[in-house]
Structure 1
Amino acid sequence: MTVPETGADTGTEALRPHAEDAFARELQALDRADDRPRPARWRLSPWAVATYLLGGALPDGTVITPKYVGPRRLVEVAVSTLATDRALLLLGVPGTAKTWVSEHLAAAVSGDSTLLVQGTAGTPEEAIRYGWNYARLLAHGPSRDALVPSPVMRAMSGGTTARIEELTRIPADVQDSLITILSEKTLPIPELGQEVQAVRGFNLIATANDRDRGVNDLSSALRRRFNTVVLPLPASAEAEVDIVSRRVGQLGRSLDLPAAPEGIDEIRRVVTVFRELRDGVTSDGRTRIKSPSGTLSTAEAISVVTNGLALAAHFGDGVLRSGDVAAGIHGAVVRDPAADRVVWQEYLETVVRERDGWKDFYRACREVSA
């Protein structure tokens, strides 16, 4: 899962700097300390890439902040995959940090996380292969000068890492344009009678959402070209609280909001509510409850708390309280006004109302739900 950028570099006005810019000092420190073998055109060794994602301390005392909290072996498998000629597919439910991990992997491996194709139902084949500058095409005919390379083509030419987000949102016939790229490591340009061959160092990271199964499932031929790593939800409530509080702290600093530790109790409540509704059982295992239609991911918990901090800062006393997060929780849980509203009301009355120390939270949620 994602964790905050507590060690992120500052000095930029970008609202959300790219990973290689936000963590430039950490990447430079790892580069200096890294004496292990590096695959062709990699900025760091596989060991250093894993350390960058998982965090650690270097011999010179530099602290590398963790970018992902989860099983170490998953990160090692992902990094090892990129060191081979197999592409990497990060799979998981919404909010499990697939995009975040892919960005940081590309930043650590290639020093550039911006070679990105955003998958949607309308993504054309040109976004993966190449397009044309039609002014030049009409004026001079087909030529390399008239060709507009896709991020994937640029990565092939430069021996770097390309990223494709939400691969299963892309139409199946467009997905299959990747097969030749991943199997033959070439991209034919029939209009010119040429091809682009991938140079050493090229690889591709794709992400896909478990909830999109059945939308545009990968063909068996394409799936065989990927090694799949499934990113899980946080294993424990404390781990999820830590992730949310750290990430909210980083976001809060960038937005000049109050420090998250001031509202750690509310963060713990939000995480508890999300986990219980997600799992269909209370944290003590004694009461079965219905689950709403939404995913209630860690990313959504971060959003709820960050919005609550904004309310506390601009319309309260700066301290995160139950009333600040109640509306956000209601909006995250009640996606289907009919079915989810019943689930939420039942949870409030049978679980939250009876829980010691949660009276203020119960009243705030009831007020919003009324």
Structure 2
Amino acid sequence: MTVLRAHAEDEYAEELALLAKEDDRPRPPGWALSPWAVTTYVLGDGRRISPKYVGARRIVEVAVATLATDRALLLLGVPGTAKTWLSEHLAAAVSGDSTLLVQGTAGTAEEAVRYGWNYARLLAEGPSRDALTPSPVMRAMAEGRLARVEELTRMPSDVQDALITLLSEKTLPIPELNLEIQARQGFNLIATANDRDRGVNELSSALRRRFNTVVLPVPATAEEEVEIVSRRVAQLGRSLRLPETVTGAEEIRRVVTVFRELRAGATEDGRTKLKSPSATLSTAEAISVLTSGIALAAHFGDGVLRARDVAAGIVGAVVQEPAADRVAWREYLETVVRERPDWRDFYRACREVS
């Protein structure tokens, strides 16, 4: 049975195998590839290795170099800057396994980063190694792999602090069994966080010191963002088995332009100031809008992505808080979009759904 979304190490197994075969550079203990090969896997080589992340090479090099030290890596950025995507591919390239994942939420318990118990066995046999339920972090320590923690700042502060001993001592005490798990070479941790969402729990200074923080910026230029969106939309279309659709570069550029201008609060030429809506309007949301548009064009249109196929998705992405966001959107539509002669079809489509 074909899975909806394969793990990075499975989807790009051929590329990883090719790099491993040709990689003759020094590898840190426990790593499947050298830092140079990991960076090549993430950024691509323009020939046989496809780029997974489009951005400054130095950002990726710093992130990879951090993982080769005794400091954990914190990928920080606003929503939609590919933090999760990058962490998955780093884990796949370094450890060959991106599945040792803890998803941070307000309800995440300490057991998610330490260990829990199989209570049936615990009651029947008492505390024992067999009754222990290891967390993904504990498994990563025992196997010498990378663990991933998503949305670190959404976890309660006391759960966050459970990571301090793990990261500083590289040891997980299990007092109930009078033993400890010591991390094997190759173990490290990648966490992601953003400070734009509600419900954020600030990291303590003690925990923050255990991380090297790498900030992932939004795409610097419209061309860079268009490239990212185009690539991911094509990948998603293949994985979702959407019917073949003619995806116009013009519609992709329009969506990216709308999102960038509303995020920045000004038009690309800087001549018109705009009200920014409450929505994040990230690159990830642009990808979602276009993927939905392709599905509409394929199943209910003529197989060509047009303005009417993306209009509803854009309005839904922009207008998150009906009162204030609708005012900002209508102002943008009437003062900017309406005045662009080659955007008339886009203007009409957005007016219809607004």
User: What corresponds to 2:173 in structure 1?
Assistant: 188
Q: Is the 8 A contact 2:262 2:274 kept in 1?
A: yes
Alpha-carbon shift at residue 311 of structure 1 (Å): 0.5
Q: Is the 8 A contact 2:245 2:303 kept in 1?
A: no
Find the aligned partners of 1:74 and 1:101 in 2 and give their Cα distance. Answer: 11
Alpha-carbon shift at residue 210 of structure 1 (Å): 2.5
TM-score computed with the length of structure 1 as normaliser: 0.94
**1:276 and 2:241 are equivalent in the alignment:** no
Letter of the structure 1 residue corresponding to residue 44 of structure 2: G
SS across alignment from 1:163: strand
Find the aligned partners of 2:134 and 2:234 in 1 and give their Cα distance. Answer: 39
Structure 1: unaligned runs, 5 residues or longer: 1-11
TM-score computed with the length of structure 2 as normaliser: 0.98
User: What corresponds to 1:305 in structure 2?
Assistant: 290
Taking the TM superposition and a 5 Å limit, the aligned residue runs for 1:220-259 are: 220-258=205-243
Structure 2: unaligned runs, 5 residues or longer: none
**1:25 and 2:9 are equivalent in the alignment:** no
Find the aligned partners of 2:318 and 2:209 in 1 and give their Cα distance. Answer: 37
Match of 1:333 among 290, 313, 318: 318
SS across alignment from 1:120: coil
SS across alignment from 1:265: helix
Taking the TM superposition and a 5 Å limit, the aligned residue runs for 1:1-370 are: 13-56=2-45, 63-212=48-197, 215-258=200-243, 262-369=247-354
Find the aligned partners of 1:136 and 1:69 in 2 and give their Cα distance. Answer: 48
Find the aligned partners of 1:80 and 1:261 in 2 and give their Cα distance. Answer: 41
Indicate the RMSD between aligned Cα atoms, in angstroms. Answer: 1.2
Find the aligned partners of 1:43 and 1:338 in 2 and give their Cα distance. Answer: 52
Q: Is the 8 A contact 2:247 2:294 kept in 1?
A: no
Q: Is the 8 A contact 1:119 1:164 kept in 2?
A: yes
Find the aligned partners of 2:59 and 2:277 in 1 and give their Cα distance. Answer: 29
Q: Is the 8 A contact 2:246 2:305 kept in 1?
A: no
Letter of the structure 1 residue corresponding to residue 92 of structure 2: A
What CA deviation, in whole Å up to 9, does each residue of 1:219-241 have, x standing for no partner? 00000000000001111101111
Alpha-carbon shift at residue 214 of structure 1 (Å): 7.1
| Alignment size in residue pairs | 354
Letter of the structure 1 residue corresponding to residue 201 of structure 2: N
Find the aligned partners of 1:260 and 1:241 in 2 and give their Cα distance. Answer: 18
Alpha-carbon shift at residue 262 of structure 1 (Å): 2.9
Find the aligned partners of 2:343 and 2:301 in 1 and give their Cα distance. Answer: 20
Find the aligned partners of 2:353 and 2:14 in 1 and give their Cα distance. Answer: 45
Alpha-carbon shift at residue 256 of structure 1 (Å): 2.9
Distance 1:136 1:214, change over 3 A: closer
